[in-house]
């Protein structure tokens, strides 16, 4: 999650030929915004099995008061957790709206709740209303899918609130932009929950650890004057912070989802249902293109920023700006650090080329330099010159997709050699790379691999080119296409043909680090300024690419006003 179905905040109250009567079991579904509510079939009802359905909607879809819904999911209030997000989060004025995400842990009626069900509601200064639109999802562990629901008045001529099934994550990865229009899957691209700012400092979230932003005006424990009255309401006694949502709820949820995605792509033994293992100890991938697509196409993104403030947020104070303070540029701006280096807060195994993290030790600019860049590029946030609270806010490769690749790497589906080869292509463009995208055509749907035992680091396994079925197949496909010298396909072919592409990638990373480090040398101000402008140009371009992307543009729920600073049009 977070802003589940957030694109559908503009409700369309339909004029129905008749009003459906509300009754206890969930009765309705709605395929997309603006579409009429329809009756669920018995088969559709039978296909639902997530905790939100089992605890609430299966028998108690008449529950429309938030507190009643919360009690039905988790009667013990101590096991509820409240998280807050908004592009307005730094504005403490008693105005506007924030989005609350409600998560649960513990169990209820045999349902494990942690990371298996969440709700999302909007609220104003006075707190969360008694009866409000609710967006919710539940993870059906049996079927390995997320189900998305919404409570609103759609389908009611009387304006009463009605729960509706809105989508499931089945086949989300295959949907076209047109098919996603008006559905939850417009934002939940691969079907998983969305937390755009997943990692530190969680720009736009109430947090607090490590110098991240703490929305004191919402914190019941804060001594700040002029707090929102919401902070004094019972729900806010369970106010928690974004770091907990990340580490305790969503990263485990993403890992489980990716495990399901990966496992469903493997050939099974018809008789036992177990993963098929050949006499030679090989497994088979049957949906290779679905699993490997993230290495080539940017399908999911997260938004990362510097861990340091810009000092020039439009809702901040003039005194926030300290010209000499550093703004560290995140490593993932320069390359796919999660997969190349591994480790970090996401904890991926990766290729363990920790040189990729070295950017953070020198790639910094001052708040003054950042301010000059914002002015040079004529960036606007909320219609005025300014920057996000934490500087250098930019799309990075989505964790949910990086984790999928990492799980494939850990299992042996892809070799470190293959991952290194593709990441080396257009290495300086970790998202929205056309060069990598055009190489996807060479990926086969089916191939064999030798599974790596759990706990064994794939990077430590000596490369055996004869067992690398994927590399062999891709090489064959490229060779058959006979690409011209100098093309991306030619580069990819050469990398795959090396003895070990991990070494090649390491060399590339080191050279890249050295080049940027030299270009940002403080001893050469003119060169440094030019390099910062080049890098900032890339930053702005990535924001533009996200907002012009047919699917990812929907992640901006502020109509281009508050999420990403962009040049004045």
Partner 1 sequence: MFPYTDPVGRNFLSDMAVASEFQQQLQSIYDSFARRINSGFTWIEALQQLPGGQLPQAVMVEWAAFPITAQATDVEIDHDRFQHQDEYVEWRAERQQNRLTQVTFTTEFPEYFEAFAAVGFEALVRAVQDAIPGANPTVEEVFGTGFNPEATSSIARSRTFRDHLRSNPWNNGQKGILCLTQQFNTLGALFNLLAECGVLKTQGTPENTCALVASTGACGPGRSSDPAVCAEAQRAVRGNLGFTLRDPAGIRIATLEGVWRLNNTDININDPAANPGIWTVSRNGRRGVLSVSNGLTLDGNSLVTGAQIARKLKVAADVLAAPNATLPAWARIGVESSSRGPV
Among 13, 39, 322, 384, binds partner 1 (CB under 8 A): 322
Q: Which residue, 310 or 471, is less far from partner 1 as judged by CB?
A: 310
- In angstroms, what is the minimal distance from the CB of 331 to partner 1? 9
Among 135, 216, 369, 556, binds partner 1 (CB under 8 A): 216
Among 155, 311, 395, 398, binds partner 1 (CB under 8 A): 311
76 binds partner 1 (CB under 8 A): no
217 binds partner 1 (CB under 8 A): no
Among 143, 256, 275, 463, binds partner 1 (CB under 8 A): 256
Q: Which residue has the tokens 């140009």?
A: 537
243 binds partner 1 (CB under 8 A): yes
- In angstroms, what is the minimal distance from the CB of 343 to partner 1? 6
* Sign of the torsion angle spanned by Cα atoms 108, 246, 118, 96: positive
One DSSP character per residue, 423-458 reads HHTTTT--SS-HHHHTTGGG--S-EEE-PPPTT--G
- In angstroms, what is the minimal distance from the CB of 409 to partner 1? 13
Q: Which residue, 34 or 316, is less far from partner 1 as judged by CB?
A: 316
Q: Which residue has the tokens 């430590």?
A: 460
Among 138, 155, 208, 458, binds partner 1 (CB under 8 A): 208
- In angstroms, what is the minimal distance from the CB of 155 to partner 1? 36
- In angstroms, what is the minimal distance from the CB of 254 to partner 1? 9
Determine the 3-state secondary structure of 206 from DSSP.
Answer: coil
Nearest to 102 by CA among 68, 79, 125, 124: 79
Nearest to 564 by CA among 95, 122, 204: 204
**457: alpha, beta or left, given left = phi > 0 and alpha = psi -120 to 50?**
beta
Q: What is the 3-state secondary structure (H, E, C) of 210-272?
A: HHCCCCHHHCCCCCCCCCCHHHHCHHHHHECCHHHHHHHHHHHHHHHHHHHHHHCCECECCCC
Among 2-10, 106-114, 432-440, 551-559, the segment contacting partner 1 (CB under 8 A) = 106-114
338 binds partner 1 (CB under 8 A): no
Among 142-150, 178-186, 221-229, 501-509, the segment contacting partner 1 (CB under 8 A) = 221-229
Determine the 3-state secondary structure of 117 from DSSP.
Answer: strand
Size of the site for partner 1 (CB under 8 A): 54
Among 217-225, 371-379, 516-524, 554-562, the segment contacting partner 1 (CB under 8 A) = 217-225
Distance in angstroms (rounded) separating the CA atoms of residues 27 and 40: 5
Among 220, 344, 451, 497, binds partner 1 (CB under 8 A): 344
Among 177-185, 229-237, 454-462, 520-528, the segment contacting partner 1 (CB under 8 A) = 454-462
75 binds partner 1 (CB under 8 A): no
Distance in angstroms (rounded) separating the CA atoms of residues 97 and 120: 13
Q: Helices 399-411 and 251-263 meet at what angle, rounded to 10?
A: 50
461 binds partner 1 (CB under 8 A): no
Among 54, 169, 212, 450, binds partner 1 (CB under 8 A): 212
Q: How far is CA 9 from CA 154, 156, 196, 558, in A?
A: 12, 17, 17, 11
Please list every residue from 349 through 368 that binds partner 1, using CB under 8 A. Answer: 352, 354, 357-358, 360-361
**Which structure tokens are listed for 99?**
């989005």
**211: alpha, beta or left, given left = phi > 0 and alpha = psi -120 to 50?**
left
Q: What is the four-CA torsion angle of 411, 416, 422, 426, rounded to 10 degrees?
A: 130
Q: Which residue has the tokens 């010298």?
A: 485
Interacting residues with partner 1 (CB under 8 A)? 106, 112, 114-115, 200, 208-214, 216, 221-224, 241, 243-244, 247-248, 251-252, 255-256, 259, 307-309, 311, 316, 319-322, 325-326, 328, 341-345, 347, 352, 354, 357-358, 360-361, 454-455, 457
């Amino acid at each position: 999650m977070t802003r589940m179905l957030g694109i559908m905040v503009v409700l369309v109250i339909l004029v129905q030929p008749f009003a459906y009567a509300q009754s206890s079991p969930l009765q309705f579904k709605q395929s997309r915004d603006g579409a009429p509510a329809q009756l669920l079939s018995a088969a559709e009802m039978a296909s639902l099995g997530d905790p939100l359905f089992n605890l609430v909607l299966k028998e108690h879809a008449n529950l429309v008061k938030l507190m009643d819904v919360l009690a039905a999911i988790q009667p013990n209030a101590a096991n509820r957790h409240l998280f807050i997000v908004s592009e307005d989060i730094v504005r403490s004025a008693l105005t506007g709206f924030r989005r609350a995400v409600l998560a649960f842990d513990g169990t209820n009626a045999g349902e494990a709740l942690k990371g298996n069900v969440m709700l999302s509601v909007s609220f104003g200064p006075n707190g969360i209303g008694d009866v409000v639109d609710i967006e919710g999802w539940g993870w059906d562990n049996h079927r390995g899918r997320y189900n998305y629901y919404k409570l609103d008045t759609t389908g009611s001529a009387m304006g009463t609130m009605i729960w509706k099934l809105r989508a499931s994550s089945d086949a989300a990865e295959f949907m076209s932009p047109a098919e996603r229009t008006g559905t939850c899957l417009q934002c939940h691209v691969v079907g998983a929950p969305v937390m755009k700012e997943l990692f530190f400092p969680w720009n736009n979230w109430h947090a607090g650890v490590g110098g991240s932003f703490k929305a004191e005006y919402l914190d019941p424990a804060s001594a700040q004057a002029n707090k929102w009255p919401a902070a004094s309401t019972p729900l806010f006694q369970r106010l928690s912070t974004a770091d907990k949502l990340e580490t305790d709820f969503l990263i485990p949820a993403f890992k489980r989802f990716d495990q399901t995605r990966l496992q469903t792509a493997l050939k099974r033994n018809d008789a036992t249902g177990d993963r098929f293992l050949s006499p030679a100890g090989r497994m088979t991938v049957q949906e290779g293109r679905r699993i490997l697509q993230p290495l080539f196409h940017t399908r999911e993104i997260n938004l990362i920023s510097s861990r340091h403030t810009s000092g020039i947020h439009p809702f901040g104070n003039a005194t926030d700006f300290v010209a000499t303070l550093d703004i560290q540029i995140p490593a993932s701006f320069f390359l796919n650090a999660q997969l190349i280096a591994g480790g970090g807060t996401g904890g991926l195994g990766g290729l363990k080329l920790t040189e990729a993290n070295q950017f953070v030790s020198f790639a910094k600019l001052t708040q003054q330099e950042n301010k000059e860049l914002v002015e040079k590029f004529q960036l606007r946030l909320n219609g005025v010159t300014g920057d996000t609270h934490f500087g250098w806010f930019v799309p990075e490769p989505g964790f949910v997709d990086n984790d999928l690749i990492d799980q494939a790497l850990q299992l042996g589906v892809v070799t470190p050699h293959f991952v290194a080869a593709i990441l080396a292509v257009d290495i300086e463009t970790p998202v929205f790379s056309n060069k990598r995208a055009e190489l996807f055509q060479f990926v086969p749907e089916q191939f064999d691999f030798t599974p790596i035992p759990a706990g064994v680091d794939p990077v430590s396994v000596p490369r055996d080119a004869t067992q690398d079925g994927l590399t062999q197949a891709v090489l064959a496909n490229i060779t058959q296409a006979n690409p011209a010298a100098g093309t991306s396909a030619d580069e990819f072919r050469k990398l795959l043909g090396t003895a070990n592409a991990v070494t090649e990638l390491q060399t590339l990373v080191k050279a890249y680090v050295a080049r940027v480090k030299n270009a940002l040398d403080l001893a050469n101000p003119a060169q440094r300024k030019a390099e910062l402008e080049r890098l900032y140009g890339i930053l702005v371009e990535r924001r533009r690419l996200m907002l012009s992307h047919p699917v990812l543009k929907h992640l901006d729920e502020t109509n281009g006003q508050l999420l990403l600073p962009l040049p004045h049009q």
